[in-house]
A = this chain, B = another copy of it.
Amino acid sequence: MIYFDNAATTFPKPETVYRAMDNCQRTFCANPGRGGHKLSLQSGRVILEARELLADLFNSGSPERIILTYNATEALNLALKGFLKRGNHVITTSMEHNSVVRPLKTLEKRGVDTTIVQCNEYGEIDISDIEKEIKKETVLIVSTHASNVVGTILPIIDIGNLAKKYGLDFLVDASQTAGLYEIDVNKMNISMLAFTGHKSLMGSQGTGGLYIKKGLELEPLMEGGTGSKSESLYQPDIMPDRFESGTRNTPGIAGLCAGIGFINSKGINNIREHEQNLTKYFMDGIRDMGSVRIYGTKSAGRQAPVVSINIGDVGSSEVSYVLDQEFDIMTRPGLHCAPLAHKTLGTMDQGTVRFSFGYFNTKEQIDEAITAIEKIAGGV
């Protein structure tokens, strides 16, 4: 069994992640931040540890400004709906996931003006195309760090500088990069960073978060019990409680801590190098097959470990199905919840077969995939 769907969720996780979650559940999983007994405090410390590890990872300082959410989608909804107001203008890219595009479409109905800047067929953006769209109502630029379809890395340092130059805020969707690429929210002028816990951060599903820079005021997406200022009928202002209503996923967050611990012990650069090597090896292995088309930059150094391909005119679902059934290789076909990206790549009808690699994948597995693709392509 070969799992190449790590851009959807990494699998397997490090052994320490499994153990941390099971240990949490079995030995101390009370309700964090509610009550002051031993187990509640121990659970609370796990939540705090996650905030500290994430604040260190993103060099943000202020662990209390790391909001722990259900997933990146909640984080992006909170960021977009909490920040943007009627009359505001926001600029984003044509490589965004539906978790950015769909909330923006809802916000358009509420009087927010949206511009989607077109990327080229490799998923690359021209900074000057963003700059051209800035007007006096513009308050925010939103960009993915790397495309979930073809892995193309967007120039977030340059976009951050542009945002700074014009006094705009900058929201980055790091769903495909957090835990794999160095992210420094201060150096990169990132105002808000949305991330998921269950991809390259190696944690459990049911975890994610949003970093919110100091001074940025958002409206909460949800209100409720926060375990703080219980006497008030109104949502408290204190961070992170303002944005964390209801019980957090303590066992999942314990797993997330272990996942980040694993990354720190292996070294983020070593992990990335391994995955980039696999990406390069894979693309080199299929590059010259006549009927195989690779989308995106085709350069492992310029993309996350995500490779989208098609074989002739065969539907991506069919190829993915054959890979799974005949070769026991798991990939994801279709549009990957990012229709604008597929329009950009010219793959709206066919979709793509997406191979996404993780730390536990090996060169031998890539060899098997190359052989399988060769066989499928030979029959086309």
Contacts and interface: CB of A to CB of B under 8 A. Distances in A.
Contacts of A226: 98, 337
A154 to B, nearest CB: 18
A107 to B, nearest CB: 10
A338 interface: yes
A340 interface: yes
A3 interface: yes
Contacts of A39: 3, 5, 11, 330
Contacts of A248: 205-206
Interface in A43-79: 69-74, 76-77
A195 B321 CA distance: 37
Contacts of A34: 5, 8, 332, 337
A331 B31 CA distance: 11
A3 B26 CA distance: 13
Contact of A103 (B36, B70, B222): B222
A234 B324 CA distance: 30
Interface of A: 1, 3, 5, 8-9, 11-13, 17-18, 21-22, 25-26, 29-31, 34-40, 69-74, 76-77, 97-99, 101-103, 105-106, 196, 198, 204-208, 220-227, 230-235, 245-252, 255, 317, 320-321, 324, 330-340, 348
| Nearest 5 pairs of A and B residues by beta carbon | A206-B249, A73-B246, A225-B337, A99-B224, A102-B223
